[in-house]
Structure 1
């Protein structure tokens, strides 16, 4: 899989990150921007891959301008950008110039993976599409993330995260029945596409590791969002039902949703007969479990029964306690969890025990941000290095991977190639 492990280790050392992760030696060229792409590359970097972020010298990743910032306004550094570009090296390259194209090809010869998130056809117009780059390196895994994928009638359309949410059907399902649909409260289209791209990249690398050739990993935001719609597709294809906004309710499982308590809300999902019986016992009313109107899961699934009989019971029980009290008394026994604010999550002792809030350098400070969700028992993620400045590692990367001298680098910089 990996070529030149020693070179990768040297580059990682320069980036301030460990070089002993499970993907150590895998070299990735990240020519993406914003989130759909940078997040995929960051996941690989966290797991030990040597990731080189490639940015245009005069038009770098504009996520660098996204808040929140750390430091003085004039020289503020973006925590948003760092969150998706930590553990990477950074080089600058103008791929529109002849020498820039040649330089990328030289880097591709030493790379295992290239990740891009341009509109399909953009790299081909630059003369740097997969068919060209595979001639430089037949083992190259070429991961392409786009709004609609590389095939199909809509392939050339521009897209953002909301495009994926809208075109993938998720937007139409979110919100409340008596109000217009609402986007999911995070960039789920970008994030899901990045996750699938990481999975596809690892699968393609496995093929190369077994002696096969490189290939294109084609990931669409629309496809990724569609795959997150749970039972909506089969409800339509089997019953003709079109999913619509349900607020915090589930299409058929009840009770399974948001319930008020003394100081906020909790999620309660004790819908099975076992959990319903345990719930009634916990709240000192075991006889409720035997009530013939609500004594089976099938009866409690009925929307009228759930709203008129089950919900009032639960709201009466929960209203006597705070979120923390409910979790303390019931969280180990039944599916009940406080609906936490981000502040509560960041300060959650369990999150801390899972190393899910980590310190990442940003300027002269350490900024807390989310960690790596993938936990490997033998090769854990142990270091989080800063995101690179634009072109910060030009001399190191171009010197080590492309063999350029200091004089050549100076000339290319003067000419605006790097």
Structure 2
């Protein structure tokens, strides 16, 4: 399926190259789950058109932190999730705005929205309507509970996914109330599954000329992150609960205190256990008949009485950096790092995972693109658009409107 886009790929500040070059994406989303999905597509070279209401912009434009002041003030939060996109404004409630979106759909390959199910249908811009305009359109809808089922019309946020997908109930310390995971994992997981679904549907549309509806919910996506909890319940009737830093069936595998903080240590196999004992100068402990096998070390009483105290004694006299150096490539041991340590980590730098983007008001350092392609790498360093920054450009170059046509739409308050 060839793109009909005539938007130049070398417009300053936008990616324009990569494996998705030529794919046109309509981004009718806000906050994180939708914008992050389209950001990934943009980083990989797609032409992403971020559609916002002219009087009701994506409210993450108001989220801190900010760079610059007055006219140059810009949200770094918004910048991180909306980089590499073109910005245009459309009032989808107006007749002219609806008609304009349909025109854009005819020239696009993908549309992503994250309204509550039914919202786009009320606007008469749902999948069935837009698919008549472009049968090859891949239409992705990200919502709290999905497009079907008894909860589909409920409002949903990240915490809704964490709470109803089971993850919240599994997080925290044993014997204490469950804790929310410390990031918006419901939104982020939906982002990743939506991106996978969009790319799969795009491949099918390229092959057959037929698009489809991609339905992704925060609840479903969070449930899919619960690892062993579902099968433990369906097979053994065991209900997963908070484990803190422990693991349900391997030990030692968790958090341990050291001289200047904490480390993760996962030396639960017999091979890693022998290496660890030797590393700390006590190889004889690997032959101790009470703790010489994985099964013995996993036993709760043995672990608490023999294994944990031994590890705590070993780790207490060393810093995170010293322990990482000692472990090297021998055993799985790494410091539990704060964000400042992560941002300044030489390995993170070598992986190009902090992208620094210059804005008129100052530089924004944001996470980079974790997808590393050998031949057509992505580009995470494009700027995010100002509200409606590229409206005229997109309408002129993608739809072929002249200045008078654009002016007429503006007079009609459609843009």
TM-score range normalised by the length of the shorter chain: over 0.9
Equivalent residue in structure 2 for 1:309, among 306, 311, 325: 306
8 A contact 1:32–1:38 mirrored in 2:
yes
Unaligned stretches of 5+ residues in structure 1? none
Give the 3 Å change call, closer, same or farther, for CA 383–225 of structure 1 in structure 2.
closer
Equivalent residue in structure 2 for 1:292, among 274, 289, 294: 289
The more displaced of 50-59 and 324-333 is 324-333
Number of residue pairs matched by the alignment? 415
Matched, 1:51 2:48: yes
CA distance in 2: counterparts of 1:304 and 1:88, whole angstroms: 56
Q: CA deviation at 1:178?
A: 2.5
8 A contact 2:17–2:378 mirrored in 1:
no
Give 4+ residue runs of structure 1 displaced > 4 Å after superposition. Answer: none
TM-score of the superposed pair, with normalisation by structure 2? 0.98
Matched, 1:95 2:92: yes
2:386: which partner in 1? 389
1:259: which partner in 2? 256
1:70: which partner in 2? 67
Equivalent residue in structure 2 for 1:275, among 265, 272, 275: 272
Q: CA deviation at 1:320?
A: 1.2
8 A contact 2:161–2:222 mirrored in 1:
yes
Q: CA deviation at 1:208?
A: 1.2
2:183: which partner in 1? 186
TM-score of the superposed pair, with normalisation by structure 1? 0.97
> Helix, strand or coil for the counterpart of 2:33?
coil
Trace 1:143-182 onto structure 2 (pairs within 5 A): 143-182=140-179
8 A contact 1:144–1:219 mirrored in 2:
yes
CA distance in 2: counterparts of 1:201 and 1:405, whole angstroms: 32
Q: CA deviation at 1:383?
A: 5.5
8 A contact 1:103–1:402 mirrored in 2:
no
Q: CA deviation at 1:417?
A: 1.1
CA RMSD of aligned residues (A): 1.2
> Helix, strand or coil for the counterpart of 1:270?
coil
8 A contact 1:27–1:50 mirrored in 2:
yes
Q: Deviations over 1:79-101 (max 9, x none)?
A: 00000000000000000000000
1:354: which partner in 2? 351
Unaligned stretches of 5+ residues in structure 2? none
1:341: which partner in 2? 338
8 A contact 2:74–2:361 mirrored in 1:
no
1:4: which partner in 2? 4
8 A contact 2:45–2:379 mirrored in 1:
no
Equivalent residue in structure 2 for 1:325, among 313, 322, 325: 322
Q: CA deviation at 1:209?
A: 1.5
Trace 1:15-30 onto structure 2 (pairs within 5 A): 16-30=13-27
CA distance in 2: counterparts of 1:152 and 1:382, whole angstroms: 38
Q: CA deviation at 1:371?
A: 0.2
Trace 1:94-133 onto structure 2 (pairs within 5 A): 94-133=91-130
Q: Deviations over 1:104-130 (max 9, x none)?
A: 000000000000000111101100000
> Helix, strand or coil for the counterpart of 1:390?
coil
Q: CA deviation at 1:379?
A: 0.9
CA distance in 1: counterparts of 2:47 and 2:144, whole angstroms: 26
8 A contact 2:279–2:327 mirrored in 1:
yes
> Helix, strand or coil for the counterpart of 1:344?
helix
CA distance in 1: counterparts of 2:357 and 2:225, whole angstroms: 30
8 A contact 1:361–1:385 mirrored in 2:
no
